[in-house]
Amino acid sequence: MAEKAIRQPNRKCPMSQTPPNPSYPRTRMRRTRQAPWSRAMVAEASLSAADFIWPIFVIEGENRIEPVASMPGVDRVTIDIAVRRVEEAATLGIPCVALFPNIDASLRTPGCEEAWNPDNLICRATRAIKAAVPEIGVMEDVALDPYNALGHDGIVVGDQIVNDLSVEALVKQALVQAEAGANIIGPSDMMDGRIGALRDALEAGGHENVMLLSYAAKYASAFYGPFRDAVGAAGKLTGDKKTYQMDPLNSDEAMREVALDLSEGADMVMVKPGMPYLDICRRVKDEFAVPTFAYQTSGEYAMLEAAAANGWLDRDTVTLEALSAFKRAGCDGMLSYYAVDVAKRLAAR
C-alpha cells in the first residue's frame, strides 16, 4: 500500500509553491521520456491487477454461458462457471469481484420480494464463491432493479419511486447478502438515507466488518444500456430514473451526495459512469481523501469494443489508456469488465 501511495499524484503541493522550471535548453521535458525505464520511473500513477473489481453476471442452471450481445466478450454464466472464473481472477491478483444476477422473469415482481430471499441466485453464488475462493472479496449490488417487474431501483407506488419503503427493502436485501458471505455491500440505488439505514442494520445484525462501497455519485446516464441487457432489465423500465439518479450537468451536488454518504457510514465511495465523469472523481478525491472508485460502465466498454472491432482503435492500447485515466484522476480502483484481460497483459509484461 505504501508503494501505491507514493506513486499517486502529489495533491498537497499547488503549482504556485513549486519552483519554476528553468527555460529551454536547461529544461528539456523530453529527457525523462526518452526510454521505457525512465518513463516508468517518473510515472505519476500506476495500474495493477490490485486496482480492479471484476463484475460478473450470474444466471441459473449448470455449465451454461450466455454471451451478452451488446457487450462483446462479456457473458452471463452459471454459478459453477462463475466459481472457476473467480478462481482465475484470484490467481491473477484481482482482489474483488462484483456479482449481478439475471433472474427468471417470473421472480420479478412489483414488491421485489426475491431480493431478500436468502436462497436467491446471488446468495447461492456468493456462498459458492466464498467456499471455493475464500481469499477473494465479494461485492454485492444493493438495488431492486434486477428483481423489479417495473425495472426501477426502488419500490414503485402509483407513478412514484417511494424512498423510505425502498430503503426498508434494500436493508432486507443487504442483510441476506451479508449472511451469505458478502464482504462489500454496494448500494447503487441512490435512495436518500440508505447508507445510514444499511450501516445501522449491518451493525445490529453482527455484520460490523461488512464494508459499504456507496455508489455515492451515480448519474442518470445513457451509458447503462448494455448493463440492463445483461441483467435482463432492458425493456422493463417504466419511465426513467431521473428522480433519484443525478443530473449529468451537476458537480457540486455530487459533493453533497458523497458528504452525506460518508457521514452515514460509507467506507468507500464510487462515481458512475467513469470516463465521462473524471472531473467528479478528481473532486471527490481532493475534497474528501477517502477510498474512491469509478465504474467503467457497460456503455464505455461497448464503445471501446465497437471501435476496436471496426479497426478504428487499437484495443489493447486504448483499454490501458482508458483505465489509467481513472488512476490519474485520483481513483484508488475501478469496476471494469476488462479486469481479467488487462491483469493477464500486465502479468505478461
Answer whether residue 29 is part of any domain: no
Structural element, H or E, at residue 342: helix 339-348
DSSP 8-state assignment for residue 155: E
Answer whether residue 164 is part of any domain: yes
Q: What is the pLDDT of residue 232?
A: 79
Give CA–CA dist 45/42, Å, rounded: 9
Q: Across the chain, which distance is largest between two alpha carbons, in Å?
A: 72
Confidence bin at 16 (pLDDT 50/70/90): low
Task: Write out pLDDT tens, residues 135-159.
Answer: 999 999 999 999 999 989 999 999 8
Answer whether residue 129 is part of any domain: yes
Cα Rg for the chain, rounded, in angstroms? 21
Look at residues 91, 119, 101, 87 and name the one whose alpha carbon lies nearest to residue 55.
101
Answer whether residue 38 is part of any domain: no
Q: Does 272 qualify as catalytic in the annotation? A: yes
| Domains: count for the chain | 1
Answer whether residue 81 is part of any domain: yes
Confidence bin at 1 (pLDDT 50/70/90): very low
Q: Residue 103: which CATH number?
A: 3.20.20.70
Residue holding cell 519554476? 20
Residue 252 neighbours by CB under 8 Å, 6+ apart: none
Q: Does 130 qualify as catalytic in the annotation? A: no
Answer whether residue 24 is part of any domain: no
Contact 94, 54 (CB under 8 A): yes
Q: Which of 130, 241, 272, 327 is catalytic?
A: 272
Answer whether residue 330 is part of any domain: yes
Q: What is the pLDDT of residue 32?
A: 93
Residue holding cell 472479496? 137
Answer whether residue 127 is part of any domain: yes
The DSSP secondary structure of 85-153, one letter per residue, reads HHHHHHHTT--EEEEEE---GGG-BTT-GGGG-TTSHHHHHHHHHHHH-TTSEEEEEE-STTTBTT--S
pTM equals 0.91
Task: Write out pLDDT tens, residues 125-138.
Answer: 999 999 999 999 99
What cell does 339 get?
Answer: 479486469
Structural element, H or E, at residue 88: helix 79-91
Query: What domain range is 152 assigned to?
Result: 46-348
Instruction: Please check the confidence at residue 60 and state whether its pLDDT lies above 50.
Output: yes
Q: Which of 12, 130, 172, 218 is catalytic?
A: 218
Task: Write out pLDDT tens, residues 198-219.
Answer: 999 999 999 999 999 999 999 9
